[in-house]
Structure 1
C-alpha cells in the first residue's frame, strides 16, 4: 500500500539555484541631503531691523561719548542718595540695628554705588587717543633704475598704485640685488639743493634694519616709527613718517613702505603686502 502511494506521487522538478553573481541588484541612487529652506521675508526683515537698531545705538554712543562715560557716576550717585534717603525715612537706627538684614542690604548697595562712581571716573579720565593722518614733510619723487625691464617697471608701478590707494602708504623704496630700483612717493628734502634725498643702497644694506629683516625673512612692522632709534638708517624718508613696514622680497631685496598714520597698517594690509612682495620677487627674478 505504501509503495503504491509513493509511486503515484509526482514530484516537481527542482529549479536550479542561480549563482550569486547573477543576482539583480537595485539601481544605485544618489543621496542628496535635505537643503535648508530659504529664509522667509519675515526673518530677513527681523535681521535687518536688528542690524539697523545696532547701528543706531553705535552711532548714538559715538556722538554722546562724554555722556555715556559719565553715566555710571550719575547712576552711582542716585543709588547712593536713594540708600541714604531710605535709611532716613525707614527710621532704623544706625548702630543698634547694624546686624539686621536691612543694614546688610544697605551696605551692599553702598558698595555697588561707590563702584559705579569709581568706574565712571576711570572712564572719564582714560580716553583713547585719536589718531589722524600726518602730512609727510618732503618732496614728491619718482626715480627708477634704468636697468629695470619694462615688465618689471609695470609691476612695480602697479604695486605702488595699489598700496597708495588701499593703505596709508605714502613712500615706497625697493632695494633689489644691491641697488635701489625704485624710489617713489614722498621723500625727504635735501638741504643742499631742495631735491629728494638719494637712497644709498649699500649703506642701507649694511644697517641693522635691513640685516634683521633679511635674516629673518619675515615682515617687520614698526607701528610707531618715532619710538625706534633705527629710523636714523632711513634718511631718504620724510622726517615725520609715522609707520614703517620692511618687507623682504625673496632673498635679494627688500621693500621699505612708509605710512602717514601711527598703526595705520592693519593685519590684512600686512598680509596683502607680503603677497605683493612674492609677486614682485617672481617678476624681478626673471628680469
Structure 2
C-alpha cells in the first residue's frame, strides 16, 4: 500500500494542526468560550484534512518479482508455413514478448506446434484438459499462479518453473499459450490485446487451411449422383 506525496503532506498538516489544538488547550491559562470555539473549529479543520488524506490514499499493488526462469531464447517456426502467415506470426509474437509480461509464446493448431518463441521448453507440447476446456468454451483461461493448479503437468513442455500461463482459444482447433515471467502478471489490457490478435490469427489460419485442403475434400461436398 502506497500513499502519494501530496496525500502525505495533507496528512502531516492535519496531524500537526490537531496536535497544536490539543497543545493550545492544555497550556491555556483559562478556557473561555472564544478559545473553546476556536479549538472546535481548529479540530474540525484538522479532522477534515485527515479525511482528505485518507480518501486520497490509493492502493498501488507492488509488481510481483520476475522468476529467474531457466532456458535459452529461440524461435521455432513450422517450415511449411506460407510467407504471409509466417510474417504474421513473427510480428505478433514479437509484440507479445515485448509489450506484455510474456516469457514464451506457443501456438498449437490442428495437432501440431506452428510457433514457439521466447524461452524454449524441453519437449513437444500437447494440449490437455485445460486447453480442451478453453477451446470448448471459447474463453481464455488465465492461470495466475501455475503451482496452485493440479493440471499444471499439461504445461510441462514449457520452461521449467513458469509461474503463470494464459491460454487463448483459436476457434475450436487451436490455442495460443503464453507463459508469464511472474505470478498474476497478465493485466486486463494484456488479455484484451491477446484476444484481439487471436481473432485475427484464427481467420488467417482458417484461410491457409482452406487453401491447403486437398481437392478431393472439396469435391466430396458435391451432391451424390452428380457427374
Q: Secondary structure at the match of 1:143?
A: strand
Q: What is the root-mean-square deviation in Å for CA atoms of aligned residues?
A: 3.9
Ranges in structure 1 where 5+ consecutive residues have no aligned partner = 1-61, 189-195
1:175 aligns with 2:113: no
Instruction: Determine the structure 2 residue equivalent to 1:256.
Output: 177
Query: 1:267: Cα distance to partner?
Result: 3.4
Taking structure 2 as the reference length, what is the TM-score of the superposition?
Answer: 0.67
Query: 1:214: Cα distance to partner?
Result: 1.2
Separation in 2, partners of 1:226, 1:277:
26
Distance 1:109 1:173, change over 3 A: same
Greater RCO (CA < 8 Å, at least 6 residues apart): 2
Query: 1:116: Cα distance to partner?
Result: 6.5
Query: 1:262: Cα distance to partner?
Result: 4.4
* Contact 2:168-2:176 at 8 Å conserved across structures: yes
Q: Of 80, 83, 106, which residue of structure 1 is paired with 2:21?
A: 83
Separation in 1, partners of 2:166, 2:137:
14
Query: 1:254: Cα distance to partner?
Result: 0.5
Distance 1:235 1:116, change over 3 A: farther
Q: Of 238, 245, 249, which residue of structure 1 is paired with 2:159?
A: 238
1:219 aligns with 2:152: no
Query: 1:234: Cα distance to partner?
Result: 0.9
Distance 1:135 1:119, change over 3 A: farther
Separation in 2, partners of 1:154, 1:250:
21
1:198 aligns with 2:124: yes
Matches within 5 A, 1:1-287: 70-71=8-9, 74-93=12-31, 103=36, 106=39, 109-110=42-43, 113=46, 128-146=61-79, 148-188=81-121, 196-199=122-125, 201=126, 204-205=127-128, 207=129, 209-285=130-206, 286-287=208-209
